[in-house]
Amino acid sequence: MSAEPVVLTIHAVDTQGDEGVTADAAALSDLHCRAVQVVTSVLVATPHGVGALEGLSLSLVAEQFESLTETSRPQATRTGILRDPIQVELVATLIRQCGVGPVVVAPVVRIGGTRILDDATLEAMRRLLFPLATVLLVRAADLPLIAGERGRDLDAIKRGASALRQQGARSVLVSGAASGSRVLDVLDDGGPVAVFDAPRVAAPRVAGLGGVHAIALTAFLARGETLRRAVDASQRYIAFRLQRVRS
């Protein structure tokens, strides 16, 4: 039996467990991957948003990278919550220096109703992380902030994905666009734009579902799938998670 692929998640610790490295590790176990972690910050979530969010020191983040690269070689990596521009710069430098496989950059803009990604940190991501991304994963609801695209129809989503790819990412996936009874994920990888279409699942709200999508995409890339097959598989995994909540 082959060893489980190793997936690195660079993310926060969430005291509620809905977001961050704990939620990522649970999804990775579900997908038969082994999680390794670099913790960037501590998130104290509340029912209404964010109670506190504190970044860890640069030295502690760097020490975590050094420790894991001595023992593990990730087949794929995802970035989540990064606290400030300096932390973004450090993480980008460490990703360039270490062999961490395909990189899924998945900015976390909001937790609940609270915005946690400020303009300076987003700009640092544009300059330093987007060019390192195998795929940049953006939630459709965050396109107005990240891409400046305020339209909600399919053409607007395609424009937003194209604008982000021109900022340096090799590929851009816009996820979770609602279209009537369907949910659309739109992939711009430089070829013909691909639209992945799935029926909406009537289920209770699932906290952290966007994060689950990001880590599922990373897991399928770690398992050797092509990007388009990984996008399709991760969309189906999200539908499976929603069906599980509903049943």
pLDDT digits (tens, 9 = 90+) for 33-73: 999 999 999 999 877 778 899 999 999 999 999 998 888 88
pLDDT of residue 210: 76
pLDDT of residue 1: 38
50 forms bridges with which residues in the sheet? 45
pLDDT of residue 203: 56
pLDDT of residue 247: 53
pLDDT of residue 8: 97
- The CATH number that domain 6-246 falls under is 3.40.1190.20
Q: Mind listing the pLDDT tens digit for each residue in 135-157?
A: 999 999 999 999 988 878 899 99
**In contact, 37 and 9? CB cutoff 8 Å:** yes
pLDDT of residue 149: 82
Max Cα distance, the chain (Å): 49
Pairing assessment for the beta strands 135-139 and 103-105 based on DSSP bridges: parallel
Helix (H) or strand (E) holding 77: strand 76-79
Distance from first CA to last CA of the chain, Å, rounded? 32
- Over the chain (247 residues), the average pLDDT of each successive run of 10 is 85 89 94 96 84 94 91 93 97 92 95 90 96 96 89 89 91 89 91 88 64 95 97 92 68
pLDDT of residue 233: 96
pLDDT of residue 139: 94
